[in-house]
């Protein structure tokens, strides 16, 4: 096994030549391409990073917008809910007021109806009572009663106050006295009444006699606009006035009690 | 049986013998150059890359990673030298499985030439990195008394590079030849496969040792100068790189 120096030098030259050739045909183009691709990747990466940053910024902006919209929506919802609550409360108050007013109206109506019913009942009771009284007085009316009532009429006429009596006398001068009885007066009764009127009012104008069964019993003297009565109608009328006053007083007391309740 | 392809002289150019070592070295060079040219003709920078481009970029990326892992510097200035060493040795060893192919790395002259190339590349890269004066000054560190030992170390490691590669490749060829004569059917195939593995490993080892020597020289010089208070040099080779 020898050692050839020429071959050694030739191999060195061959190696250097191979190095140069590979540098030209292998390393330089491959490294160049890798460099270009790395630069392109770096550019792409930078672009991606920029896009990512833009996307992140956009996402943050959208998130902020969304938050603002959400806050606005919540504020609007709160405002609407508040408005709805206010309207509901207001409407509820109105309805309650209407109900209260309606209830008051109904109560008032009921009260009025009750009062009217009570009033009608009282009036009806009074009417029944008066009708019964009138019927009783009518049934009881007779000549004897007429005589006694005529006596009462004479006492009442005699008991008139002087002023009243003077007014009657003055009226009798202008108007003929009209004597109304429940039953057609008898001649005796007419004579006695005409004598009484002559004594009391003077005899300038003879009295005119009329009968009216609505008097129930008794006598009524009408001189112009003046009247002196001692009759069942006058008694019933006085009783009716008294009834009316009593019923009115009861009605006022009942109304006061209802309002107080 | 010949132990070295140097002994196979095909013809002579005057006083210079053209041995199998040179012829098959040219074959290896031709294979490498033609393959590189064919694969780098249509390199693309976008879209789907061709398989050949993938392979080349993977190979170059592998070499760059290995160099950077050792040097901790920009690997591109070292790529042509270390890559050529690796590819030449790898191709020579792999083509050894082809019948009739004489591995150039089975010649001591070839491995010696490669070792000498490494021996020369070490100061070239170191000087290129730290400058001639600083590189020479590093031989005197830590004391001038160490200069002979440093020089002996430079020479012996060059010899070890050459002999290691030569011994591994030559021994593989010899063992295959011996087994072929003794048991020609099965064992030579196994040993050829084993030799293929050894060849790949030796290519890797040679390349890594070369870059270790280059990097250590530059780094030691750099460290010594830094400890001496000198300004750290810049990556001059990187700045004037091959890209």
Residues in CB range of B17: below 8 A, 6 or more apart: A4, A6, A7, B9
Averaged over B91-106, what is the pLDDT? 88
pLDDT tens by residue, A28-81: 999 998 888 888 889 989 999 999 999 999 999 999 999 999 999 999 999 999
Query: How confident is the model at residue B29, as a pLDDT?
Result: 95
The domain tally of chain A equals 1
Tell me, yes or no, whether A153 lies in a domain: yes
Q: Which residues of A touch B19 (CB under 8 A)?
A: 4, 7
Residues in chain A: 261
pLDDT tens by residue, A144-159: 777 788 888 888 888 8
Tell me which of A115-119, B68-72, B81-85 is least confident.
Answer: A115-119
Query: How confident is the model at residue A259, as a pLDDT?
Result: 56
Tell me, yes or no, whether A241 lies in a domain: yes
User: How many angstroms separate the CA atoms of A105 and A109, rounded?
Assistant: 6
The domain tally of chain B equals 1
Whether residue B236 is predicted with pLDDT greater than 80 in this model: the reply is no
Tell me, yes or no, whether A34 lies in a domain: no
pLDDT tens by residue, B151-174: 888 888 888 877 887 887 777 777
Tell me, yes or no, whether A212 lies in a domain: yes
pTM for the full predicted model: 0.57
Q: Which residues of A touch B57 (CB under 8 A)?
A: 30, 33-34
Averaged over B124-149, what is the pLDDT? 84
Query: How confident is the model at residue B231, as a pLDDT?
Result: 47
Query: How confident is the model at residue B228, as a pLDDT?
Result: 58
Of residues A200 and A75, which shows the higher confidence score? A75
Tell me, yes or no, whether A49 lies in a domain: no
Residue B26, domain extent? 5-239
Tell me whether 0.90 is exceeded by the ipTM.
Answer: no
Q: Per CB distance under 8 Å, which residues of A are interface residues toward B?
A: 1-4, 6-12, 14-19, 21-23, 25-37, 40
Yes or no, beta carbons of A30 and B43 under 8 Å apart: yes
Q: Residue A226's beta-bridge partner residues?
A: A223
Tell me, yes or no, whether A226 lies in a domain: yes
Averaged over B28-32, what is the pLDDT? 95
User: How many angstroms separate the CA atoms of B97 and B89, rounded?
Assistant: 14
Tell me, yes or no, whether A14 lies in a domain: no
For residues B24 and B102, the answer to whether their CB atoms sit within 8 Å is yes
For residues B203 and B170, the answer to whether their CB atoms sit within 8 Å is no
Query: How confident is the model at residue B241, as a pLDDT?
Result: 33
Tell me, yes or no, whether A147 lies in a domain: yes
Yes or no, beta carbons of B7 and A30 under 8 Å apart: no
Residue A185, domain extent? 141-256
pLDDT tens by residue, B168-185: 777 777 777 787 777 777
HSE-CB for B4 with a 13 A CA cutoff: 19
pLDDT band at A133 (very low <50, low <70, confident <90, very high): confident
Nearest Cα residue to B218 out of B235, B205, B231, B230: B235
């Amino acid at each position: 096994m020898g050692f050839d120096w020429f071959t050694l030098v030739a191999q060195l030259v061959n190696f250097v030549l191979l190095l140069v050739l590979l540098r030209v045909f292998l390393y330089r183009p491959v490294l160049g391409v890798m460099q270009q691709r790395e630069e392109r990747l770096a550019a792409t990466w930078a672009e991606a990073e920029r896009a990512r940053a833009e996307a992140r910024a956009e996402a943050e902006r959208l998130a902020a917008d969304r938050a603002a919209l959400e806050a606005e929506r919540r504020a609007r919802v709160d405002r609407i809910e508040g408005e709805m609550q206010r309207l509901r409360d207001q409407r509820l108050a109105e309805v309650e007021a209407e109900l209260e007013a309606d209830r008051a109206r109904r109560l008032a109506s009921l009260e009025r109806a009750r009062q009217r019913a009570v009033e009608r009942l009282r009036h009806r009771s009074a009417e029944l009572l008066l009708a019964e009284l009138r019927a009783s007085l009518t049934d009881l009316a007779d000549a004897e009663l007429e005589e006694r009532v005529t006596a009462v009429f004479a006492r009442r006429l005699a008991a008139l106050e002087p002023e009243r009596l003077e007014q009657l006398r003055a009226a009798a001068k202008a108007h003929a006295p009209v004597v109304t009885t429940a039953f057609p007066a008898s001649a005796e009764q007419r004579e006695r009444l005409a004598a009484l009127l002559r004594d009391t009012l003077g005899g300038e104008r003879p009295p005119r006699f009329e009968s009216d069964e609505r008097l129930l019993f008794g006598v009524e003297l009408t001189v112009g606009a003046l009247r002196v009565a001692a009759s069942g109608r006058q008694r019933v009328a006085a009783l009716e006035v008294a009834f009316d006053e009593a019923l009115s007083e009861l009605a006022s007391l009942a109304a006061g009690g209802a309002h107080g309740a | 049986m010949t132990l070295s392809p140097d002994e196979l002289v095909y013809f002579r150019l005057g006083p210079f013998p053209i041995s199998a070592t040179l012829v098959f070295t040219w074959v290896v060079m031709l294979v490498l150059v033609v393959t590189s040219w064919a694969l780098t003709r249509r390199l693309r920078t976008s879209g789907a890359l061709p398989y050949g481009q993938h392979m080349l970029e993977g190979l170059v990326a592998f070499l760059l990673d290995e160099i950077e892992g050792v040097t901790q510097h920009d690997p591109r200035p070292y790529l042509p030298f270390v890559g050529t060493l690796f590819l030449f040795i790898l191709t020579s060893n792999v083509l050894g499985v082809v019948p009739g192919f004489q591995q150039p790395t089975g010649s001591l002259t070839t491995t010696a030439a490669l070792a000498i190339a490494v021996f020369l590349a070490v100061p070239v890269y170191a000087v290129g990195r730290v400058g001639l004066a600083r590189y020479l000054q590093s031989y005197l560190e830590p004391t001038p008394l160490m200069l002979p030992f440093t020089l002996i170390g430079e020479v012996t490691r060059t010899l070890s590079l050459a002999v290691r590669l030569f011994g591994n490749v030559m021994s593989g060829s010899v063992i295959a030849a011996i087994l072929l004569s003794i048991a020609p059917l099965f064992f030579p195939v196994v040993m050829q496969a084993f030799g293929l593995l050894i060849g790949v490993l030796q290519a890797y080892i040679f390349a890594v040792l070369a870059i270790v020597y280059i990097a250590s020289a530059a780094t030691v010089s750099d460290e010594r100068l830094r400890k001496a208070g000198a300004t750290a040099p810049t990556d001059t080779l990187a700045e004037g790189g091959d890209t």
